[in-house]
Structure 1
């Protein structure tokens, strides 16, 4: 009985680490490799696991491990939460220490609790940084200083809107339609206000700023990397997700522009 409990503890620690990585945007092949290495590294009663198989898709982890001719299989359901590279880095560092045998199972479980509740930047810092990200991006398209300030305000307000939607548990398609709608509507309002006070600004360039804070570049990149690594199912799923996010953003922007271009 104690042996079975220890086996399940090792498997639980590995799958929870994989879940943290996956729900924060890690590549599928990286998660599979991490979970497999963590289980294979552990010695229980002077023996290691005989065979470890890990299958990962963007919404779940399936692990099967053989120990003394008995197979233990678990399924970990994953709900993606977005992109958080710091969480992925912390999980990577934790997995290396666990694999190298630096920590006991008790220490690993305690550290895993901290990984599950990582420190977050304050909302003010996130909004200011998002404004900078969207604002500075317009210079790549030849934007002016006026357009930078407009894009900065629109980007910060768009992220504030998306943060407000996080607690509503909307599906990603509807959420990104609203995001594209908000980004373009803010752009139209700000450009109209700027023209009213006597300054000129290009609407297309202003809208690009907040949209770039929503574009799924990391998901698309991870999908391509998974395909290159041979993870055809997971890679295709991530690319399709990125494609549908782009369609949703375009749909939201199109709704605003359809009614506002006559006024601009």
Structure 2
């Protein structure tokens, strides 16, 4: 069985339609789980299907699931997305696999194996590096918001300890938004303590700088981009997710400020 690729007659080494669907769904699943935009996920799945001579494919992507179908051949298949994180390196790798498929550098079987390797791989930085990065960025955000150098160290400590609480509470207790609430509460308490003992001076700047590593920036960006691309369901759901996360962060700080 053959198909046309770049004007050339190429042997189709992956003729089974259900296997093409599996390849497309795996690529979409990895991208969606790792923070890819909805329109990028749909475009990648469509391009992979078109590579194997299936131009009439349809996909419907939401933050919690993917529906993919091919006209007149196979029933629509659904895959559930239960956990989402931020790993843009995996999104880049999947895009690379898609491009190599389109150019004929990879066979379908090689691409499927490569996607399985990407799915199982762990490219996240060690926890201690994430904590160090969150601490330093908290101090840098403090200065960006016109804080004083005397508050740099308090912001670094508050941001680091708050991020520690966020990471470990999220691992232990699988309750959405609770880890953000506790982390912001800890940040507020530490910032208040530093100001109380005279180590810090500007409470608001310390708090603002320290909570920035918790702010769902990628989620907000993807929500806006999905809305602009016409994916209203995904855009609104991601926007609601980001709004609730921001509310959890704000509630933790508000509790401290209320007592303060």
Bucket of the pairwise TM-score, normalised by the shorter protein = 0.7 to 0.9
Cα contact 2:139–2:152 (8 A) shared by 1: yes
Cα contact 2:226–2:234 (8 A) shared by 1: yes
What is the distance in 2 between the residues matched to 1:170 and 1:31? Answer: 26
**Structure 2 match to 1:45:** none
Q: 1:18 pairs with 7, 12, 28, which one?
A: 28
Q: 1:76 pairs with 76, 79, 87, which one?
A: 79
For structure 1, list consecutive stretches of 5 or more residues without a partner in the other structure.
43-47
3-state DSSP of counterpart to 2:179 = helix
Q: Shift of the alpha carbon at 1:169?
A: 4.7
Deviations, residues 143-188 of structure 1 (Å, cap 9, x unaligned): 1222111111111112211110232352322222222212212222
What is the distance in 2 between the residues matched to 1:176 and 1:256? Answer: 14
Cα contact 2:49–2:55 (8 A) shared by 1: no
Question: Cα gap change, 1:258/1:61 in structure 2, threshold over 3 Å: closer, same or farther?
Answer: same
**Structure 1 match to 2:69:** 64
Cα contact 1:25–1:80 (8 A) shared by 2: no
TM-score w.r.t. structure 2 length? 0.88
Question: Cα gap change, 1:192/1:87 in structure 2, threshold over 3 Å: closer, same or farther?
Answer: farther
Deviations, residues 182-201 of structure 1 (Å, cap 9, x unaligned): 221222233334x1xxx442
Q: 1:49 pairs with 33, 54, 57, which one?
A: 54
What is the distance in 2 between the residues matched to 1:115 and 1:152? Answer: 34
Q: 1:174 pairs with 159, 174, 178, which one?
A: 178
Aligned-pair Cα RMSD in Å: 2.0
What is the distance in 1 between the residues matched to 2:101 and 2:185? Answer: 45
Confirm whether residue 143 of structure 1 aligns to residue 153 of structure 2.
Answer: no
Q: Shift of the alpha carbon at 1:234?
A: 0.8
How many residues align structurally? 247
Question: Cα gap change, 1:4/1:151 in structure 2, threshold over 3 Å: closer, same or farther?
Answer: same
TM-score w.r.t. structure 1 length? 0.87
**Structure 2 match to 1:125:** 129
Question: Cα gap change, 1:113/1:190 in structure 2, threshold over 3 Å: closer, same or farther?
Answer: farther
Deviations, residues 103-161 of structure 1 (Å, cap 9, x unaligned): 12221122112211232212221111111111101112221222111111111112211
Q: Shift of the alpha carbon at 1:230?
A: 0.8
3-state DSSP of counterpart to 1:79 = coil
